[in-house]
Copies of this chain bind each other. A is one copy, B any other.
Amino acid sequence: MKYEYLTNEDLDIAVNEYIAALKSEGLNVKTEVIPVFEAAGRITANPVYAHICAPHYNAAAMDGIALMANVTFGATETTPVKLTPDQFIQVDTGDPMPDGTDAVVMIEDVVRDGDNVLLYSAAVPWQHIRQVGEDVCAGDMILPSFTEITPAALGAMLAGGVLNVAVVKPPVVGIIPTGDEIVAPCENPAPGDIIEFNSTIFSGILRSWGAIPKTYPIIKDIKEDIINTMKQAVEECDAVIINAGSSAGRDDYSSLAVGTVGKVLYHGIAIKPGKPAILGFAKDTPILGVPGYPVSGIIVLDQIMRPVIEIMTGRNLHRQEKITATLGRMMTSPLKYREFVRVRIGVNEKGEYIATPLSRGAGVVTSFVKADGIIDVDKDCEGYAAGDKVEVILLRPKADLDNTLTIIGSHDPIIDEITDILKRDNKDSVVSSSHVGSMGAIMAIKRGEAQMGAIHLLDENTGKYNDVYVNKHFPNGGVVLEKGVKRIQGLMIAKGNPKGIKGFADISRDDISYVNRQKGSGTRILCDYLMSQNGIKESDVYGYEREEFTHTSVAAQIASGTADAGLGIYSAALTYDLDFIPICNEEYDFLIDESAIGSEKIQSFLKVLHSDELKQRLVRLGGYETWD
Listed in ascending order, the chain A residues whose CB lies under 8 Å from chain B are 36-37, 40-41, 47, 51-59, 63, 70, 92-97, 102, 124-126, 130-147, 150-156, 158-159, 161, 163, 181, 185-189, 191-195, 197-198, 200-205, 207-208, 245, 247-250, 294, 298, 310, 314-316, 319, 359, 361, 363-366, 368-369, 397, 399, 413, 416-417, 419-420, 423-424, 427-428, 431, 513, 542-543, 545-546, 548, 550, 552-553, 555-557, 559-560, 562, 572, 575-576
Contacts and interface: CB of A to CB of B under 8 A. Distances in A.
B40 A187 contact: no
Contacts of A548: 131, 133
7 contacts: A52-B188, A53-B556, A95-B192, A134-B363, A147-B423, A150-B204, A151-B203
Nearest to A415: B141
B138 A552 contact: yes
A339 to B, nearest CB: 18
| Protomer copies | 2
A248 B124 contact: no
B560 A245 contact: no
Per DSSP, chain A at the interface is: loop
Contacts of A95: 192
A204 B102 contact: no
Contacts of A247: 92-94
A197 B556 contact: no
Contacts of A59: 192
A543 B73 CA distance: 13
A560 B132 contact: yes
B57 A191 contact: yes
A139 B201 contact: no
A94 B291 CA distance: 14
A192 B55 CA distance: 9
Contacts of A136: 366
B163 A187 contact: yes
A319 B545 CA distance: 47
A51 B146 contact: no
Contacts of A152: 201, 294, 298, 365-366, 368-369
A249 B93 contact: yes
Contacts of A555: 137, 139
Contacts of A158: 185, 195, 197, 200
Contacts of A428: 316
A52 to B, nearest CB: 7
A56 B94 contact: no
Contacts of A52: 187-189
A57 B193 CA distance: 9
A423 B144 contact: yes
